[in-house]
């Protein structure tokens, strides 16, 4: 008889947990907030029909220079799980978390435990590392919503297989570029981990720090490097103004490629999710370097 109150207590807890899930206006789905849109693909891939995902940095905006608005505070306040990259990418997130007043939030720091180089946060651009992101998101969704753990495990395993396929495709494509052509100059250093994984050398990048333009000496250096290594192109993203890239390209007599996607997916279906984006980027890079 003495055990009864404990059991009743546990039952009450369970019931209130169910009630909480049932009365959210997302139809009982786990509410996930992601900082950048590239991470959405991983959450959608693992969570499928059991999650509703909201993104904080808008598609086409740069996470390095982002400033949160009041609706972003609401997004975090409403979330059950927050998925961030970490490794110094989201410098604005601590304030946002504080302003949301949120105390019970599963926070997933995707890059945690991965080998960060030169304080560069763009680890997701290596699809081998992306598998670690997927595993972390899977574990967080299971913790937040254990009832669907079987589905989360199954979806994560299936997404992993898609990443393995992608990795194989990228290797095959890069293999068609002569080794002496495997050099890139990029606008901002989002390509370090991808390039290191697939045997491309990042010769230089234009923007040393977010929002900081290079001085004339640094521009001259990049032009020299491009000429020395017979670089075929300088690469940028739609969210940046590549004026300075044109100066470098003109100086070195090479072309500008303006449509790589990395920090943000695009609205075009060809680049609307992570796997599509890396497939598209690889085509663009291989075409330019050949």
Interaction site with Zn ion (CB under 5 A)? 190, 263
- Of the two residues 62 and 169, which places its CB atom closer to Zn ion in the complex? 62
- Of the two residues 90 and 263, which places its CB atom closer to Zn ion in the complex? 263
In the 8-state DSSP scheme, what is residue 206? S
Alpha-carbon distance of 97 to 127, in angstroms, equals: 28
Least distance to Zn ion, CB of residue 18, Å: 41
Least distance to Zn ion, CB of residue 122, Å: 6
Least distance to Zn ion, CB of residue 15, Å: 45
- Of the two residues 156 and 285, which places its CB atom closer to Zn ion in the complex? 285
C-beta separation of 114 from 131 below 8 A:
no
C-alpha distances (whole Å) from 200 to each of 174, 223, 261, 282, 289 are 9, 18, 17, 12, 10
Question: Which of 26, 55, 57 minimizes the C-alpha distance to 41?
Answer: 55
- Report which residue's Cβ sits closest to Zn ion: 263
- Of the two residues 88 and 199, which places its CB atom closer to Zn ion in the complex? 88
Least distance to Zn ion, CB of residue 153, Å: 31
Least distance to Zn ion, CB of residue 261, Å: 11
C-alpha distances (whole Å) from 211 to each of 146, 192, 204, 259 are 43, 19, 16, 19
DSSP H or E segment with residue 108 = strand 106-109
- Of the two residues 84 and 263, which places its CB atom closer to Zn ion in the complex? 263
Alpha-carbon distance of 262 to 38, in angstroms, equals: 8
């Amino acid at each position: 008889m003495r055990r009864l109150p404990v059991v009743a207590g546990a039952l009450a807890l369970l019931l209130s947990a169910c009630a909480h899930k049932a009365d959210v206006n997302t139809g009982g789905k786990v509410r996930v907030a992601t900082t950048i849109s590239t991470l959405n693909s991983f959450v959608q891939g693992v969570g499928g029909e059991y999650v509703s995902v909201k993104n904080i940095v808008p598609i086409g905006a740069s996470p390095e220079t982002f400033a949160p608005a009041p609706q972003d505070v609401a997004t975090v306040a409403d979330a059950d799980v927050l998925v961030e990259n970490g490794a110094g990418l989201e410098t604005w997130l601590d304030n946002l978390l504080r302003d949301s007043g949120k105390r019970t939030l599963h926070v997933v720091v995707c890059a945690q435990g991965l080998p960060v180089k030169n304080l560069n946060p763009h680890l997701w651009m290596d699809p081998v590392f992306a598998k670690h992101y997927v595993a972390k998101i899977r574990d967080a969704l299971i913790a937040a919503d254990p009832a669907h753990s079987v589905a989360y495990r199954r979806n994560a395993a299936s997404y992993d297989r898609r990443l393995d396929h992608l990795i194989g495709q990228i290797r095959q494509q890069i293999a068609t570029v002569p080794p002496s052509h495997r050099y890139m100059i990029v606008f901002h250093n989002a390509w370090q981990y991808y390039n290191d994984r697939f045997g491309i050398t990042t010769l230089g990048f234009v923007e040393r720090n977010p929002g900081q333009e290079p001085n004339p000496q640094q521009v001259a250096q990049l032009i020299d490097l491009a000429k020395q290594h017979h670089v075929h192109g300088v690469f940028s993203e739609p969210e940046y103004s590549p004026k300075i890239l044109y100066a470098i390209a003109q100086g070195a007599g090479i072309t500008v490629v303006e449509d790589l996607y990395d920090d943000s997916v695009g609205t075009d279906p060809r680049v609307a999710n992570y796997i599509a984006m890396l497939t598209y980027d690889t085509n663009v890079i291989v075409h330019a370097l050949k």
